[in-house]
């Protein structure tokens, strides 16, 4: 028996469980772009004359992000889209992902901008892990996350970007909310869910247009549009605390579709409540690099200091 698309009469190939939509390839792509467009409008992420830096890792999430942003912004000739890749320096992994990022950028007529950990911080992630040694209390993902965010912000400032778009999807964002709660750091939810209209001096505003699409949506979109992307997992990924949260939430979403969207709504409500009772006052200036920080020395400078001592 042929299952028909919920939007048209063609054969459905995909079930979007949290909306109960059965979709053909064309409607899968169309509804995904439309969901992102509506999220951008609802949260006022973009303006018609923006210079948009898009963080492109070479993986499926950032590939779909760049493709959708490029489609949406073609209606606005004043807008400039700039794909930026941060090369962490992971032997045997980043080279392949970089080729995928270059191929996608070329196919869209865009020029890829490359920045590396070695250029910005003086050492690659592999070097950092070697210096840390087996007794390091922080996993490689902790170093990577801190330094990637800083390198991307520095690149965006150099390029005079108005906004930075990252490929965090619905699963990623729900995992982050739960991780912050389980770590007893609820205030971080407010810092990571700031609206563009609430900028922090020194940080280029960040937007996450794909937060309305699940990881399954993104895999299906990339497959049916045949986007070039690198799907080999990072060799350091097994160290991540996030993996435990991911497995738990995947199970909950399968049993109770809509769990992830409910968590995201809760995260937005928490962020809104925090924003209404505080301002930039909990941000100070890093004594080393001068960037905004919640402590006297920002996390990136703290880690660099420890690595240099090591």
Torsion of CA 45, 226, 102, 175, to 10 degrees: 50
Name the residue among 60, 120, 41 with its Cα closest to residue 88: 120
Between 201 and 22, the more confident residue is 22
The residue count of the chain comes to 310
- The mean of the pLDDT values for the chain is 92
Q: What is the DSSP string of 77-133?
A: TT-EEEEEEEE---TTTHHHHHHHHHHHHHHTT-PPEEEEHHHHHSS-HHHHHHHH-
Token digits of residue 157: 């400032």
**What band does 81 get if pLDDT is binned at 50, 70 and 90?**
very high
What is the average pLDDT across 276-282? 61
Query: What whole-number percentage of the chain has pLDDT above 90?
Result: 74
- The 10 Å Cβ neighbour count of residue 111 is 9
**What band does 110 get if pLDDT is binned at 50, 70 and 90?**
very high
Please identify which residue in the block is written with the tokens 């960040």.
206
pLDDT on residue 239: 63
The 10s digit of each residue's pLDDT in 167-224 is: 999 999 999 999 999 988 878 887 777 888 888 889 999 999 999 999 999 999 999 9
Say yes or no: domain 32-278 is CATH 3.20.20.70: no
| Crossing angle for the helix pair 60-73 and 25-42, to the nearest 10 degrees | 70
Name the residue among 26, 54, 28, 27 with its Cα closest to residue 40: 54
Whether residue 159 contacts residue 50, with contact meaning beta carbons closer than 8 Å, is answered with no
pTM of the model: 0.93
Does the pLDDT of residue 310 top 90, yes or no? Answer: no
**What band does 298 get if pLDDT is binned at 50, 70 and 90?**
very high
What is the average pLDDT across 147-167? 97
Per-residue H/E/C for 186-246: CHHHHHHCCCCCCCCCCCCCEECHHHHCCHHHHHHHHHHHCCCCCCCCCCCHHHCCHHHHH
Query: What whole-number percentage of the chain has pLDDT above 70?
Result: 95
Whether residue 169 contacts residue 213, with contact meaning beta carbons closer than 8 Å, is answered with yes
Q: What is the DSSP string of 123-140?
A: S-HHHHHHHH-TT-SS-H
Cα–Cα distances (Å) from 178 to 168, 213, 230, 242, 278, in that order, read 15, 18, 27, 10, 22
d(CA 227, CA 105) in angstroms, rounded, equals 11
**What band does 135 get if pLDDT is binned at 50, 70 and 90?**
low
**What band does 12 get if pLDDT is binned at 50, 70 and 90?**
very high
Token digits of residue 2: 């042929």
d(CA 192, CA 267) in angstroms, rounded, equals 10
Name the residue among 197, 174, 214, 211 with its Cα closest to residue 14: 214
Residue spans of the domains in the chain: they are: 32-278
């Amino acid at each position: 028996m042929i299952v028909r698309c919920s939007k048209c009469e063609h054969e459905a190939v995909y079930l979007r469980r949290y909306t109960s939509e059965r979709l053909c390839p064309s409607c899968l792509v169309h509804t995904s772009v439309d969901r992102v467009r509506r999220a951008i409008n609802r949260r006022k992420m973009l303006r018609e004359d923006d210079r948009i830096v898009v963080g492109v890792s070479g993986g499926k999430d950032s590939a779909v992000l760049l493709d959708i942003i490029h489609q949406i912004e073609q209606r606005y000739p004043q807008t400039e889209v700039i794909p930026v890749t941060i090369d962490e320096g992971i032997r045997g992994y980043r080279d392949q992902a970089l080729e995928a990022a270059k191929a996608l950028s070329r196919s869209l007529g865009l020029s890829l901008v490359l920045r590396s950990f070695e250029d910005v911080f003086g050492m690659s992630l592999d070097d950092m892990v070697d210096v840390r040694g087996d007794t390091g209390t922080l996993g490689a993902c902790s170093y990577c996350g801190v330094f990637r965010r800083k390198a991307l912000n520095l690149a965006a400032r150099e390029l005079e970007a108005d906004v930075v778009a990252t490929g965090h999807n619905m699963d990623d964002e729900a995992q982050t909310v739960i991780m912050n709660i389980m770590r007893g750091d609820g205030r971080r939810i407010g810092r990571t869910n700031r609206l563009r209209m609430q900028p922090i001096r020194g940080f280029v505003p960040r937007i996450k247009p794909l937060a309305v699409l699940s990881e399954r949506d993104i895999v299906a979109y990339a497959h049916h549009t045949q986007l070039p992307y690198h799907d080999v997992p990072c060799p350091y990924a097994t160290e991540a605390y996030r993996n435990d949260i991911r497995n738990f939430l995947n199970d909950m979403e399968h049993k109770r579709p809509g769990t992830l969207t409910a968590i995201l709504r809760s995260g937005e409500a928490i962020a809104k409540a925090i924003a209404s009772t505080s301002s930039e006052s909990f941000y100070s200036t890093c004594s080393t690099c001068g960037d905004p920080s919640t402590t006297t020395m920002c996390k990136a400078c703290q880690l660099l200091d420890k690595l240099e001592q090591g």
